[in-house]
Amino acid sequence: MKRKDFSNLEITVQNKKDTIFEHEYSIAGVAPNLRGIYATMYFQTPLKTKITTHTFSKENTTPEVELSIFLAESLNYIQKGIDANATIDNIVSKLTFETIIGNNHFDEIAKLRAARMLWSKLIKQFNPKNQSSFALHINATIETSFDAFQAISGGCQCVISKDKKHLFFEEETGILKTIDPWAGSTHVEQRTEEIATKSWILFKNSTV
């Protein structure tokens, strides 16, 4: 057969998503802080690693329950601080999200993304002066090296681990070259929305 002529072949690009979740406009659209993550964070402040000798066991809880408890505890702490005349910026600078990472890869990524969205929603009510108060600092404790993968992909600032093997993900995979690399993925955005919505409802119900 004669060789085909491919010289006019072109790719066809589509510039509209087929599925857009409402929060994509805001978390992608608003200030980077709403993602709770500095766009520059891994470039200016490298991801931290802490080695620990503790052994942990992951409590058998859902991401939704975990986040609702985190929000309720944060609110409680903030209110005590305000009662004691501290500023919101000062109070939240001392708060971090301490979480143990499970092995459901995409649910854990969605959990960390939802945590940052909900944190900024919570903090907004107190009108902080510092933009950085919207950014949630996440310390992720991992049980196996592989769990660092979801922790980093979800955008934690610190990995707490028993050994250094998880450095593989930082050093060799290129996954820190851009922040929030799974943003837009229909599956991940859907799980993020589900987890955020349920967590907020649980949180609201627990504080009335």
In the region spanning residues 6 to 65, those forming contacts with other proteins, defined by CB under 8 A, are 6-7, 9-34, 38-40, 43-44
Q: Which of 68, 74, 99, 120 binds other proteins (CB under 8 A)?
A: 120
Q: 88-107 mask for other proteins (x: CB under 8 A)? A: ---------------x-xx-
Q: Are 176 and 152 in contact (CB under 8 A)?
A: yes
Burial of 80 (0-12, 13-18, 19+ CB in 10 A): exposed
137 bridge partner residues: none
- By CB under 8 A, is residue 3 in contact with other proteins? yes
Give the shortest CB-85-to-other proteins separation in angstroms: 26
- Pairing, β 138-142 against β 48-51: unpaired
Residue range at the interface with other proteins (CB under 8 A); choices 48-56, 71-79, 87-95, 158-166 = 158-166
**Judged by CB under 8 A, does residue 146 bind other proteins?**
yes
**Residue at 31: amino acid letter:** A
The least distance separating other proteins from the CB of residue 10, rounded to whole angstroms, comes to 8
| One residue of 95, 117, 159, 160 binding other proteins per CB under 8 A | 117
Residue among 30 and 82 whose Cβ is closer to other proteins: 30
Of 76, 173, 205, 207, the one binding other proteins (CB under 8 A) is: 173
Residues between 66 and 85 with contacts to other proteins, criterion CB under 8 A: none
- Cβ neighbours of residue 82 closer than 8 Å, sequence gap 6 or more: 88, 91, 126
Residue 167 touching other proteins (CB under 8 A) = yes
> Is residue 145 a contact residue for other proteins (CB under 8 A)?
yes
Q: How far is the C-alpha of 166 from the C-alpha of 65, rounded, in Å?
A: 27
Single out the residue of 188, 199, 202, 203 in contact with other proteins (rule: CB under 8 A). 188
- DSSP-assigned beta bridge partners for residue 51: 161
CB-based contact 36:117 (threshold 8 Å) = yes
User: Tokens 């945590």, residue?
Assistant: 115
CB of 84 to other proteins, least distance (A): 26
Strand 138-142 relative to strand 97-101, pairing: parallel
Residue 142 amino acid letter? I
Q: Give yes or no for residue 179 binding other proteins (CB under 8 A).
A: yes
In the DSSP assignment, the letter for residue 97 is E
